[in-house]
């Protein structure tokens, strides 16, 4: 009961799983939350608390918060990691899919934050860590809705940081680059399902290959680099507001600041192979 308490969403794999393991190794009482409870059994066996959590279901969110507060009486760290990538041409992506991505990547994270903030304010301490992406500062072809969610979470994090600072609460943004998770496969699958045929098919196939091709997968960073960065942010009295980490993240964001919009468009079309595809 004396250890600090952390809630990590999207903990069934990838960054969330690695973060839960890292925080437990540092002495945190960890609540690992995700929809796929069966995939978190190794975390349960390691002594973590497992929570079924659907971030698009308000009742599920409220139950998770009630469980944490009833069992541990406090919350020191919230890691909003749950999210997914859904690519496709703006013209092709159904409105329901666009809304679904915002529900998971933005509204779910913000609602969970809303529910936990009264407890952090009462104890006058806490850290909210939002996992965005280098995609929250730059754009890639056929990724409008995904980037929209990450740009939104970046902006919300900035506003939230100013609001909660007087209560002793920190807000930290983690901007991962290419990480070895299920994300590229899911994003590519959705991209080809939506835009793999029709007017944007050539672009879609080129972009999907850039996501899941062997060259890309070999260069991706392990999810532990994100977990280690989160641990570093939590170890200091005054953490940075943003941490850029993972394959290509720093050079890509540097190029985005350096190049004009059209120059960056051209660079991305070349880098993803779309420039070689004629419609």
Residues forming the active site: 146
Is 9 within 8 Å of 53 (Cβ atoms)? yes
Cα separation, 137 vs 41, whole angstroms: 35
Residue 8 contacts residue 23 (beta carbons within 8 Å): yes
Locus of tokens 């806490």: 126
Contact between residue 102 and residue 147 where contact means Cβ atoms under 8 Å apart? no
Token pair 């860590």 is at which residue? 129
49/47 Cα distance (integer angstroms)? 7
Adjacency order of strands within the sheet including 29-34: 49-52, 29-34, 5-9, 77-80, 126-131, 169-176, 242-245
CA 213, 214, 218, 223 torsion-angle sign: positive
Which stretches of the chain are assigned E, i.e. beta strand? 5-9, 29-34, 49-52, 77-80, 126-131, 169-176, 242-245
State CA 47 to chain mean position distance.
Answer: 25
Angle between helices 249-258 and 261-272 (to 10 degrees): 140
DSSP state of 270: H
* Sign of the dihedral through C-alpha 95, 101, 106, 111: positive
Q: Which of 130, 127, 231, 119 is nearest to 169 (CA)?
A: 127
């Amino acid at each position: 009961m004396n250890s600090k308490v952390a809630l990590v969403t999207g903990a069934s794999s990838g960054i969330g799983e690695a973060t839960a393991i890292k925080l437990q190794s540092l002495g945190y009482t960890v609540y690992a939350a995700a929809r796929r409870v069966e995939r978190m059994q190794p975390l349960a066996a390691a002594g973590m608390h497992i929570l079924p959590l659907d971030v698009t279901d308000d009742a599920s969110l409220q139950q998770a918060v009630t469980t944490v507060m009833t069992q541990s009486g406090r919350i020191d760290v919230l890691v909003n990691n749950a999210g997914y990538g859904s690519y496709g041409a703006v013209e092709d992506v159904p409105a329901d899919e666009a809304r679904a991505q915002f529900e998971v990547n933005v509204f779910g994270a913000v609602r969970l934050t809303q529910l936990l903030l009264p407890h952090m304010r009462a104890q006058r301490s806490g850290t909210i860590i939002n996992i965005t992406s280098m995609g929250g500062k730059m754009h890639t072809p056929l990724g409008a809705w995904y980037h929209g969610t990450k740009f939104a979470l970046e902006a919300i994090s900035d506003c939230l940081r100013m609001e909660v600072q007087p209560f002793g609460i920190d807000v930290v943004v983690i901007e991962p680059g290419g990480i070895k998770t299920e994300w590229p496969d899911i994003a590519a699958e959705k991209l080809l399902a939506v835009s793999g045929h029709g007017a944007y098919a050539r672009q879609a196939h080129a972009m999907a290959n850039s996501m899941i091709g062997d060259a890309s997968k070999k260069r991706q960073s392990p999810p532990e680099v994100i977990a280690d960065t989160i641990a570093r942010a939590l170890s200091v009295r005054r953490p940075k507001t943003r941490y850029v980490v993972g394959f290509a993240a720093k050079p890509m964001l540097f190029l985005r600041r350096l190049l004009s919009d059209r120059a960056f468009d051209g660079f991305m079309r070349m880098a993803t192979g779309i420039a070689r595809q004629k419609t």
